[in-house]
Amino acid sequence: MSKWLELRRVFFPMLMMCGATALAQKPADAYPGVARLATASEVAAWDIDVRADFKGLPKGAGSVAQGQDVWEAKCAACHGVFGESNEVFNPVIGGVTAQDVERGRVANLTRSDYPSRTTLMKLATLSTLWDYINRAMPWNAPKSLSVNEVYAVVAYMLHLSEVVPDPFVLSDHNIAQVQQRMPNRLGMTTDHAMWPGREWGRRASRPDTANTACMKNCATDPQVASLLPDFARNAHGNLRDQNRLVGPQRGANTLLADASAPSAGVGAAISPLAAGNKASMALLTQHNCTACHGLERKIVGPALTDVAKRYNGQADVLVVKIKSGGVGVWGPIPMPAQNLPDADAKAIAAWLARGAPR
């Protein structure tokens, strides 16, 4: 089966769930043997979006008081009792006033000295808040809230933001009216350039989409302009564990636990050299070397421990080999030239040259 067909097999069921038009075309007939029609309940399970005009919003209701209970049980641990915490994310609540509710624009958004941009400051459409919480929160158990719990917790958040009084019951009947009180409902604009734009007193320049591609004398290796400061790395003591599912992140080696901060669970500080080994192994994954090289196992290319034995202490030789590729040293299969940053190639080479230790 060709790649295209394989892809289609995966994507067709997804496309079909996107709407009735796709269903009407009956791709199952158009491409016999490929895919099948999604069932009504499969479509319903995907079709949960709530539009700005509230199309798709399920019927239901919840009060501010019920919402406070939901918030304290299921949200406060991460977002703070009043939604003010910036522990997991920007604060959700704060920074809006009764005047903003009247005006439909949030005054603090235009202040350069205001410390943060909370969700309720920026949010223009209430449907977005409802939809997002319904599909994505609580973060550790998405889609676990009942419809009425979503109404209730949204009501509570709106109450904290001076949009609705207490007691108040938010429901599918009155949500459109409440939309008319959203603090930043008139704040959505396409009339802006790259930040900072007009609201900061700059005459708006053109948006970044007007950039033209560089054609000559272009910078090749990007320079890192800002870094997470060392003291902030591992601020919670378990940076590695937090990233264990996704691996290293661009711009920061999250596998490198701060030697001064014991990694959670292990309990003992790891040595900088051991951390460097981990970091190099992470680079192998990041740059897909592991698709062809096993640590101790030949795959398409030689086992890295064998490479390490042959080029013991020769980091300089290894850097060149990694970047330019080659053929014939280990067999007839060529190794393609590898396009990775010099710093990463050097780190891998140094690690190989010291024996590819774990």
Using the minimum distance from each CB to ligand HEC, give the nearer residue, 34 or 333: 333
| Choice from 132, 178, 270, 274 touching ligand HEC (CB under 6 A) | 132
Say whether residue 353 binds ligand HEC (CB under 6 A). Answer: no
The interface region with ligand HEC, picked from 3-11, 133-141, 247-255, 266-274 by CB under 6 A, is 133-141
Q: What is the dihedral of CA 285, 288, 294, 298, to 10 degrees?
A: -170
CB of 12 to ligand HEC, least distance (A): 28
* From 20-28, 56-64, 222-230, 336-344, span contacting ligand HEC (CB under 6 A): 336-344
Out of 17, 77, 178, 303, the only residue in the binding site for ligand HEC (CB under 6 A) is: 77
137, 155, 275, 347: residue in contact with ligand HEC (rule CB under 6 A): 137
Q: Does 163 bind ligand HEC (CB under 6 A)?
A: no
Q: Mask 196-235, x = binds ligand HEC (CB under 6 A)?
A: ----------------------------------------
Q: Could you tell me the two tokens for 145?
A: 């809230």
Nearest Cα to Cα of residue 190 among 211, 202, 205, 207: 207
Closest distance of CB 284 from ligand HEC, Å: 6
Instruction: Decide if 164 contacts 178 (C-beta within 8 A).
Output: yes
* Tokens, residue 244: 């264990």
Residue of 38, 124, 133, 175 that binds ligand HEC (CB under 6 A):
133
d(CA 177, CA 169) in angstroms, rounded, equals 12
CA 3 to each of CA 7, 9, 33, 160: distance values in angstroms, whole numbers, following the listed order: 6, 10, 16, 52
Q: Which pair of tokens denotes residue 87?
A: 């522990």
What are the CA-CA distances from residue 295 to residues 52, 281, 311, 358 (Å)?
Answer: 52, 9, 15, 9
Among candidate residues 189, 186, 190, 199, the one with its CA nearest the CA of residue 102 = 186
Q: What is the total residue count of the chain? A: 358
Lookup: tokens for 189: 């604009």
Residues sharing a CB contact under 8 Å with residue 278, sequence separation 6 or more, in sequence order: 255, 256, 270
Report if residue 350 touches ligand HEC, rule: CB under 6 A: no
Integer-rounded Cα Rg, in Å, for the chain is 27
Q: Which of 62, 95, 138, 183 binds ligand HEC (CB under 6 A)?
A: 138
Instruction: Identify residues 87-126 at the interface with ligand HEC (CB under 6 A).
Output: 88-89, 92, 119
Closer by beta carbon to ligand HEC, 199 or else 306: 306
Residue with smaller CB distance to ligand HEC, 35 or 75: 75
| By the rule CB under 6 A, 329 interacts with ligand HEC | yes
CA distance 285 to 324: 19
Cβ neighbors of 280 (< 8 A, separation 6 or more) are 347, 348, 350, 351
Instruction: Determine the interface stretch with ligand HEC among 175-183, 234-242, 274-282, 329-337 (rule: CB under 6 A).
Output: 329-337
> Is 147 an interacting residue with respect to ligand HEC (CB under 6 A)?
no
Q: Is the Cα dihedral 328, 329, 332, 338 positive or negative?
A: negative
Q: Could you give the CA distance from residue 173 to residue 16 in angstroms, rounded to a whole number?
A: 31
Nearest approach in angstroms of CB 336 to ligand HEC is: 6
Q: How far is the CB of 119 from ligand HEC (least distance, A)?
A: 3
Q: Does 139 bind ligand HEC (CB under 6 A)?
A: yes
- Residue 328 in the binding site for ligand HEC (CB under 6 A): yes
| Site residues (CB under 6 A) for ligand HEC, limited to 272-301 | 287-289, 291-293, 300-301
Chain residues that interact with ligand HEC, rule: CB under 6 A: 70, 74-75, 77-79, 88-89, 92, 119, 129, 132-133, 137-140, 145, 153, 287-289, 291-293, 300-302, 307, 318, 321-322, 326-331, 333, 335-336, 338, 340, 348
